[in-house]
Amino acid sequence: MATASASVSTVAVIPQARISKIGGGDRGVKSRVSVVDVNPCRNNAITAKLCAPRTSLGFSASRHSWNGKKGSLRTHSMKNDMLRNQALMFTDRLFPECPAGSFKQMCCYNIRRQRGPFVERLTTRYSTNRTTMDVLNNKSDCMFVKHHDVQCAAVGPDEPHAVSTTWPDATLEKQGVSILDPEERSIELKDFLSYELPSHPKLYRGQLENGLRYIILPNKVPPNRVEAHMEVHVGSVDEEEDEQGIAHMIEHVAFLGSKKREQLLGTGARSNAYTDFHHTVFHIHSPTSTKDSDGDLLPLVLDALNEITFNPKFLPSRVEKERRAILSELQMMNTIEYRVDCQLLRHLHSENKLGSRFPIGLEEQIKKWDVDIIRKFHERWYFPANCTLYIVGDITDISSTIYQIQAVFGQAGLQRETIASLPTEPNAFGAIAKFLVPKFSVGLGGNLSQEKLAIPDQAKFTKKERHAIRPPVSHNWSLPGINKVPDPPRIFEHELLQHFSFNMFCKIPVKKVTTYSDLRNVLMKRIVLSALHFRINTRYKTSKPPFTSIELDHSDSDREGCAVTTLTVTAEPQNWDSAIKVSVHEVRRLKEFGVTKGELARYCEAVLKDSEHIAAMIDNVPSVDLLTFVMENAALGHKVMDQQQGHECMVAVAGTITLEEVNSISAELLEFIADFGKPSAPSPAAVVACVPKKVHIDGEGETEFKISSDEISAAIRAGLEAPIEAELELEVPKDLITTPQLQGLRLQRKPSFVPLDPDSGSTKLYDKETGITQRRLSNGIPVNYKISHTENQTGVMRLIVSGGRAMESSEARGAVVVGVRTLSEGGRVGNFSREQVELFCVNHLINCSLDSTEEFICMEFRFTMRDNGMRAAFQLLHMVLEGSVWLDDAFERARQVYLSYYRAIPKSLERSTVHRLVMAMLNGDERFVEPTPESLQNLTLQSVKDAVMSQFTASNMEVSVVGDFSDAEIESCILDYLGTVKATYDSVKEYNPSPITFRPSPSDLQFQQVLLKDTDERACAYIAGPAPNRWGFTVEGPDLLESINTSSELEQRLELSTSNNNAGEKKQWTNIRSHPLFFGITMGLLAEIINSRSIFLWGNFFGVRRARTTQGLETMSDKILSDKLFDLPIQFGMLLRVHPIVRQVWQLRPTDEIGGFLCFCRLFTTVRDSLGLTYDVSFELSLFDRLELGWYVISVTSTPAKVFKAVDACKNVLRGLHSNKVVERELDRAKRTLLMRHEADVKTNAYWLGLLAHLQAGSVPRKDISCIKDMMSLYEAATIEDIYLAYDQLKVDENHLYSCIGIAGAQTGQEITGKEPSLELQGGWPWNASVSDRDCAAASIFLSS
């Protein structure tokens, strides 16, 4: 149950909103507080803030830079080569006894390398041109910036947004020194460490005349795709007291009001936007071209971003629509986790706006802004010089891309200003804005027509300047020597909190990582925190651990403009004081005694192996990850490198660190905790405890829980005063199975491959098209593997055991899930302790996870091929199968974990609502929810062991492996470590689990409510119903795949196809419906269609004859009406083809056809956009593989006043697919989206691992190689009729549909009964009206208004 983690990161991460990962790696996640996304719709969104790669292993920055002299351009490659030679010269002087070109470490161990001498590897890499365009050798390419008259941006100390390219002119040229004395060596080391890190060789940057900066990075993963992000340097900290939330409001209105962005949706593009403290970012992920387009799509993407950023239409109807959405979003995100984040930020940044200016804003202010107020804020901050454009993707011609940027954005923001128009009154933005922002009286010129851009001579163009400091706030730093008395701990209490948490923050300025010395400090911090993580994680493994988790994190935050070190402790409330004592005690011990020599060697080598592994992935990093990394590090001012540069620099600095320096860094990093209260120590920026108001006490139930600030301070002092001892060294095994042991196993069990099919006699089945190999071992274990070189020198492996929680008997509910957790908690195999196993994984860079689902038990390994990493992973798998040690204390921890999970359900609105819905739909079957305290109490160590290990029989297991290995390597590991596994568990117990069924209908539990008392109002709802499984089986028994192929309808259609002589269509139609993956394909397309956002287009974007546009409208009223039509709620759909008002406005003859007019209404568009009932709604399918059932779920968040209407609207959309027919373009768009997703994912090992799953599993008999080979053709072949065949298998009628509404608020003590009246649109039609009447009535009302 107890876990710990520690990380150091130089990427943007808000410390109190991170997600931890055991293993000592860096991590980061978008803060619930500091970032707000505009569009949660899954199919139309890109995750806004992904975890950025480590800067210490970093990648990204500039190919060329101006050296400060006009017209002078110098390549970084030349500088990098010079510096590498100097680095080699330096190390040779330090160690003259080493052979020429070798590299020896200064610390107590040697770093192993794979590819020869340091200088040889470096010069070899950079003598080969790896770019798609030979920039170094092509002079015309080198001068493209000058050709377009677009100069690169100069980078100043107060401009962290552009990547620095400064480089020292001095060189290290001391010759003839063979042996250096200590003083000279120290000087040489200091000189070496002062050099700047190299910059990314492929990254281009520039600046337009109007001030817009741009950064371009070619990257071919995924191929034929591009990421374009427009970053506007304005956020919530720029808002005045009466503008809280307006930056986020503009993000919504500008983004979702853009017609050009909407037009891109049909191309397979995805888009989204987010707002944080001081950035607003609009991003589009797009194909570079489509089969329907004549050329490059990038100009259209840029044009959409230009419209969104500089030319938005602030229509009153759009403003009102987004106002409703934001108010719903505010309630949706107001979870207890969000409120905890807010409290932590308030105390961490109590001295500035970051503690109070949360991007979501204040409800009372959001309700009152009009269009003029919103437009004025936009005019104040949205100008080119305050923006940076990032383009990362499959770009082959940089010069052409720069030309496109100039063509689209060159005229943006130029505004007309005369002497008379200068403002005469003081600006009202506040003192900071007065200093930073020039005063202008008019808005953006980007809204002017082309005719208006002809400026008279007496007028002049002016350009706003960029704001220098981001974010524009000041901090109270936690620095030593200030002699500040620490503030008392702050306490946040709430009835919805389940656990106690303790947070201690230290806030310091960001130290830019630009030199080798900076990178060296990052490496040393990682070593310190990795050592602390491992110590805590392994020392406190008792049956009743004093804490749930302890994390120590050091992160640079670009959103907050500071670096924060955070100690976070979580614990059961009754153990809170012991948890604080342990955390402070361990931090103090590390600060006083430092890391050991073994820890230094172990974690430094692990970092270098990880670095080398990432460097090998240089050509496989997705563009969105690269872009996120560049954006965050540019904001922080870090030097951006590619992965190979990062690894080479890391190796160079690793050879210079010493144990004394690492421990000096340790003392500095941990001083604010270990010396808490001392006058000389840094004072914490904040100490915050989050405490539940009530806790569960065995035998007493819920009781009041109170602690004070003085008690927390006393617990900290107790940890500081406890006696400490130095850490002892730990022996780490080189192998879990030695060579003699392996030889003995092979002699005893004689592993071999056996025929997969007794009839064929072949022991190896290889499919040339997919590259998949199938094998079966003599002990019965089937193995699938695929050799893949897309992820260099890496591999993944997955063991799947059929059974899972479905095999739990009625007497032992929870046995499987608790048993799997027990194995994970114990961590012991054979004679090796948990500590030794974990360090074995650290040394071999193995990431291992063990999990259970309703159908399977799954164990997954990620490994590197270096240093026998694959053999080490196979050894660990063998030991888990053969030598797992089941421990009583691990069982108790596992049981406590699930007991805590169950008791947390009533304190979460979403979890309690889902729990009640699932229990109702599945007739109270506990196997699909958390086990109850009664069930947990009935379990024993032996019962959970039997429940798990009885499933681990060879014939019930399947192993799949994907990676960069050879046939010989993988088959040797398979025979050695899987072939020597016993075929069955020693004491097999037969289980006869009860069948899984849906509750008989109708039932009084089909509509339920959950009422949760809370200080704030919120609401959510879930709607669910039965569906078949992935292979067409249902809980009622019929085989749907067989029934649709024997139906009379099929025969009639076949006869029709034959009579029409359309043999090809007949064959294709027959093949897809008889294919075992038919329901998997069609259900996936159906879900994509239901979730898709509707398209509303006048004319066709690509090639189809267009209707008349606004250029053909003569009067202003016509143009206003056309704008209204563009903003028309989209469900009014197809009627507008024939509506008389429309035809009159567009001056169409009765015979004219609006050929490109497409409009359809689905879930997101109806419930969110048109009706304003939610911020987020989605449709998901759970299609099982082994179990003969599935279900669908619609999840929707809303307000208590609207949630009933939202549920009704969701039901109507779900049931309305027959009346509101799926059209061909919808299906084509869904196909394109899924196929593009497949084409991108197929480059990854993890995706192939999923494709290989169940290929030889007897429990999933319909899965075979055709399901992988035919997937793309099945998507292409699917028809609308196929989609409706799948749709008809969903039970959406009242007798089968289940819904549960959850409402939280102060007044929830009163039971809510009944449903709201049937939903009506304003002015309008009831939902039960016929489609045509409804549409005509609504459109008439809308147009006549």
Contact 502, 572 (CB under 8 A): no
Rounded to an integer, what distance in angstroms lies between the CA atom of residue 144 and that of residue 399? 6
Rounded Cα distance between 869 and 17, Å, is 33
pLDDT for 1130: 36
Instruction: For residue 1057, give the DSSP letter.
Output: H
Give the pair of three-digit tokens for residue 130: 């790896």
Could you say which of 159, 188, 227, 251 is catalytic?
Answer: 251
Sign of CA dihedral 242, 245, 251, 256: negative
Pairing verdict, β 213-218 and 387-393: parallel
* Predicted pLDDT of residue 583: 96
Please name the amino acid found at residue 303.
Answer: D
Say what the pLDDT of residue 760 is. 78
Confirm if 568 and 686 have CB atoms less than 8 A apart: no
First to last CA, the chain: 63
Question: For residue 261, which amino acid is it?
Answer: R
Q: Are strands 1177-1183 and 1190-1198 parallel, antiparallel or unpaired?
A: antiparallel
Judged by average pLDDT, the poorest of 78-82, 886-890, 1225-1229 is 78-82
Per-residue model confidence (pLDDT) at position 1094: 57
b or e along 1218-1228 (b: 16 or more beta carbons within 10 Å of the residue's beta carbon)? eebebbeebbe
Lowest mean pLDDT among 95-109, 551-565, 584-598, 954-968: 95-109
For the sheet containing 794-802, what is the strand order?
A: 765-767, 772-776, 782-787, 957-963, 794-802, 856-864, 847-852
**pLDDT > 70 in the chain, percent:** 72
Q: Which residue bears the tokens 């956009």?
A: 1169
Residue 90 in tokens: 């330096």
Q: Return the sign of the alpha-carbon dihedral for residues 969, 973, 976, 980.
A: negative
User: Exposed, middle or buried: residue 734 (CB in 10 Å: 0-12, 13-18, 19+)?
Assistant: exposed
Cα–Cα distance measured from residue 629 to residue 51, given in angstroms and rounded to the nearest whole number: 8
pTM of the model: 0.78
How crowded is the C-beta side of 1210, counted as CA atoms within 13 Å?
A: 33
Please tell me the predicted confidence (pLDDT) of residue 415: 54
* pLDDT number for residue 439: 28
Residue 994: what pLDDT? 83
* Average pLDDT of the chain, as a whole number: 78
Question: What is the three-class DSSP state of 799?
Answer: strand
Quote the CA–CA distance of 603 and 595 in Å, as a whole number. Answer: 10
Q: Which helix (H) or strand (E) holds 261?
A: helix 259-264
pLDDT tens digits, 718-769: 999 999 999 888 889 999 999 999 999 999 999 999 999 878 789 999 999 9
Question: Rounded CA gap, 750 and 978, in Å?
Answer: 11
Q: Which of 1035-1049, 1096-1110, 1283-1297 has the lowest mean pLDDT?
A: 1096-1110
The packing angle between helices 371-381 and 246-256, to 10°, is 90
pLDDT at 37: 52
In this structure, the chain runs to a length of 1345
Which of the pair, 451 or 509, is modelled with greater confidence? 509
Q: Which helix (H) or strand (E) holds 589?
A: helix 576-593
Q: Cα–Cα distance between 1166 and 1209 in angstroms, integer? A: 8
Residue 1105 has pLDDT above 80, yes or no: no
Q: Is the pLDDT of residue 115 over 90?
A: no
> Which amino acid belongs to residue 964?
D
User: How far apart are the C-alpha atoms of 916 and 500, rounded to whole Å?
Assistant: 26
Tell me which of 267 and 323 has the higher pLDDT: 323
Q: What is the DSSP letter of 592?
A: H
Cβ atoms 1275, 1081 nearer than 8 A: yes
Angstrom distances, CA of residue 868 to CA of 209, 615, 844, 978, 1117: 55, 18, 8, 16, 74
Q: Please state at what angle helix 1078-1091 crosses helix 1280-1287, rounded to 10 degrees.
A: 90
User: What pLDDT does residue 8 have?
Assistant: 42
The answer to whether residue 1341 scores a pLDDT higher than 80 is no
Concerning whether 251 is annotated as a catalytic residue, the answer is yes
Maximal CA-CA distance, the chain: 97
Kindly state the DSSP code that residue 1069 receives in the 8-state scheme.
Answer: H
What's the one-letter identity of residue 960? S
Q: What is the pLDDT of residue 238?
A: 94
Q: What angle do CA 987, 990, 992 make, to 5 degrees?
A: 155
299 cis-preceded (ω within 30 degrees of 0): no
The strand pairing partners of 5, in sequence order, are 551
Nearest to 551 by CA among 532, 528, 578: 532
Residue 983 has pLDDT above 50, yes or no: yes
Q: Give 208-218 pLDDT, tens digit per residue.
A: 999 999 999 99
Residue 1104 CB burial class (10 angstroms; 0-12, 13-18, ≥19): middle
Q: What secondary structure letter does DSSP report for 240?
A: -
Q: Name residue, tokens 């948990």.
A: 834
Average pLDDT over residues 15-38: 37
Q: How far, in Å, CA of 210 to CA of 221, rounded? A: 32
Residue 1201 has a pLDDT of 92
12 contacts 539 by C-beta, under 8 angstroms: no
Pairing of strands 3-12, 549-557: parallel
Read off the pLDDT band of 1185 (50, 70, 90): very high
Nearest to 1095 by CA among 1165, 1000, 991: 1165
Strand 1190-1198: give its sheet, edge to edge. 1007-1013, 1298-1305, 1018-1027, 1190-1198, 1177-1183
Q: Which two tokens stand for residue 403?
A: 């030309």
The residues with which 773 forms a beta bridge, in sequence order, are 766, 785
Question: In sequence order, what are the residues at sequence separation of 6 or more whose Cβ sits closer than 8 angstroms to the Cβ of residue 400?
Answer: none
Q: Please tell me whether the peptide bond between 222 and the residue prior to it is cis, using omega within 30 degrees of 0.
A: yes
679 in helix, strand or coil? coil
Beta carbons of 563 and 507 less than 8 angstroms apart: yes
The average pLDDT across 1225-1232 equals 92
What is the average per-residue pLDDT within 1219-1237?
91
What amino acid occupies position 924? Answer: G
**Cα dist. 857→1, 850, 860, 922, 1132 in Å?**
20, 8, 10, 21, 48
* Strand duo 782-787 + 957-963: pairing: parallel
In the prediction, which pLDDT does 468 show?
67
d(CA 1334, CA 1268): 44
- Is-contact 498 573, C-beta < 8 A? no
Asked if residue 453 has pLDDT above 70, the reply is: no
Encode pLDDT of 602-640 as tens digits.
Answer: 999 999 999 998 998 898 899 999 999 999 998 999 999
Q: Quick one: pLDDT at residue 139?
A: 30
pLDDT digits (tens, 9 = 90+) for 194-244: 999 999 999 999 999 999 999 999 999 888 999 999 999 999 999 999 999
- Each residue's pLDDT tens digit, 1022-1044: 999 999 999 999 988 789 998 88
Q: DSSP letter for 278, please.
A: S
User: 836 pLDDT exceeds 50?
Assistant: yes
Higher pLDDT, 470 or 1170: 1170
Segments of 346-443 assigned E as strands: 387-393, 415-417
Q: Which of 188, 322, 612, 926 is catalytic?
A: 322
Structure tokens at 446: 């980007």
Task: Kindly tell me if the per-residue pLDDT of 594 is higher than 80.
Answer: yes
CA nearest neighbour of 947 among 850, 805, 839: 805
Give the model's confidence band at 454: pLDDT under 50 very low, under 70 low, under 90 confident, else very high: very low
Amino acid 450: pLDDT: 31
Q: Which two tokens stand for residue 431?
A: 């003192």
Per-residue b or e along 868-886, where b marks 16 or more CB atoms closer than 10 Å to that residue's CB:
bbbbbbbbbbbbbbbebbb
pLDDT band at 181 (very low <50, low <70, confident <90, very high): confident
| The predicted structure's pLDDT at residue 1044 | 86
Strands in 693-793 per DSSP E: 694-697, 701-704, 765-767, 772-776, 782-787
